[in-house]
Structure 1
């Protein structure tokens, strides 16, 4: 676990270990702060080094989970595995396909029943119109 650090001017610095953050608090070199979103960090009171390191973000896309890692040269700052909702989407698509097929089947049955009863039907879309009764179905 790393503790975020901010310079005296408010510039973001490299995160540090909790032991260093406690050490800076005891010596009076840093103070505790919270951001607007409630994130806890340390702000340096004294002038410190402004050196930063390169950080790399890696994303490993997969079918059922997605891996994300934020690393610097010698340490991993953040790592997470996001489980995707692939199974739930596949189930929903299957349900949709079944409902669509049943809808086509029922529309065909309604078309045949209407033709047998002598109702007027347009062939472009499955719809019913009965001028005598004022019935309309789409």
Structure 2
């Protein structure tokens, strides 16, 4: 977990592990700031020794069942989100389910037992 750091001029600085900001708050070198993201953020009261930032990269991997969004710096993964895609569930009856898996290749409709071709249309022998 990383803590966001703001300079006295409210410019974002490089994120850091939680222990140094705790010490800065105890020594009154920094104060806690509320933000819209709900992320723990520390604002420095005195000027920092440097104002370096680091480059980050964001990637999106779209799969069949979920989408993964990652934010990574050179040294560590900063954030990783996994979003599941909704599957369309259609109502079905028990006769729609094929509980027995076929052991032979599928047949054409005219080759199925109980069915016949009549005038280019598939019709059942049982329901004529």
Give the TM-score of the pair, scaled to structure 2.
0.64
Deviations 1:84-114 (A, max 9, x none): 11x22xx35x89xxxxxxxxxxxxxxxxxxx
1:66 equivalenced with 2:67 (yes/no): yes
1:15 equivalenced with 2:15 (yes/no): yes
**RMSD of the TM alignment (CA)?**
1.9
1:38 Cα deviation after fit:
4.4
1:40 Cα deviation after fit:
3.0
1:37 Cα deviation after fit:
5.5
In 2: Cα distance, 1:67 partner to 1:38 partner: 21
Question: Please, which runs of 5 or more residues in structure 1 have no aligned partner?
Answer: 96-138
Give the TM-score of the pair, scaled to structure 1.
0.60
Tell me the residue number matched to 1:43.
Answer: 43
In 1: Cα distance, 2:75 partner to 2:2 partner: 13
In 2: Cα distance, 1:64 partner to 1:24 partner: 44
Tell me the residue number matched to 2:84.
Answer: 83
Give the number of the structure with larger relative contact order, counting CA–CA contacts within 8 Å between residues 6 or more apart.
2
Higher helix share: 1
1:36 Cα deviation after fit:
4.6
In 2: Cα distance, 1:51 partner to 1:18 partner: 18
Aligned length: 91
Tell me the residue number matched to 1:56.
Answer: 57
Question: Please, which runs of 5 or more residues in structure 2 have no aligned partner?
Answer: 93-128
